[in-house]
Amino acid sequence: MRVNVDLRLKDVPGQLIKALEPISVNEGNIVGVVHNHDLVTGGRISVNVTFEYKDQRALDAIFSAWKERGVEVVKMGEIFRTFAAEYLMVGDLAHSTLRAITEGIEKMEGVETIDLQYSLSTSTANKSVLLLVNVRNKDKVKEIDDYLKSRSKRNDFLLIRGMGV
């Protein structure tokens, strides 16, 4: 997992090393550090760290070490990597069909976002829809592929899968 934390460190030499060392010792991987030395509040400076950790035990050990070293954790947020899948649907796609498709995808676990771009022509019954889906787990894309293939057969529309993921 990847996490982003805002830390406040004492404004004395060696504090940044004291904050980063527990991540390394507990098999973490530091992705980025922003050290804002110009802003000192209450004798402390702000540091933003993004890192990856192996499991909850490792994260707990990092936080425990920070507490022992006097490192204040101001804010923490988990960062999820997402995988994008693109689909082009062409055919007589009714609004109710599109609603059912998006609701079906929404119910799947790990779906972050669904973006739908709808285009139609007044001279033909065919419509085109570009569907962009972001998921947390790469394996979830296969489930969405299967779901949309099933819907395309049932509702008789052309489904074209994008090249990504």
β-bridge mates for residue 50, sequence order: 4, 32
Q: Tokens in use for 69?
A: 């070293």
Distance in angstroms (rounded) separating the CA atoms of residues 20 and 7: 11
Domain boundary among 54, 79, 104: 79
Average per-residue pLDDT in the chain? 91
Pairing status of strand 83-91 against strand 127-135: antiparallel
Same domain, 59 and 90: no
Q: Point out the domain boundary residue: 79, 107, 135.
A: 79
Is 0.75 topped by the overall pTM?
no
Handedness of CA 146, 148, 149, 154 (dihedral sign): positive
Say what the pLDDT of residue 42 is.
87
57, pLDDT greater than 90 = yes
Q: What is the pLDDT of residue 80?
A: 66
Domain span including residue 106: 83-161
CA-nearest of 129, 127, 128, 126 to 114 is 129
Whether 55 and 34 have beta carbons less than 8 Å apart is answered as no
> Does residue 116 sit in the same domain as residue 52?
no
pLDDT digits (tens, 9 = 90+) for 80-124: 677 889 999 999 898 999 999 999 999 999 898 999 999 987 777
Domain CATH number, residue 91: 3.30.70.380
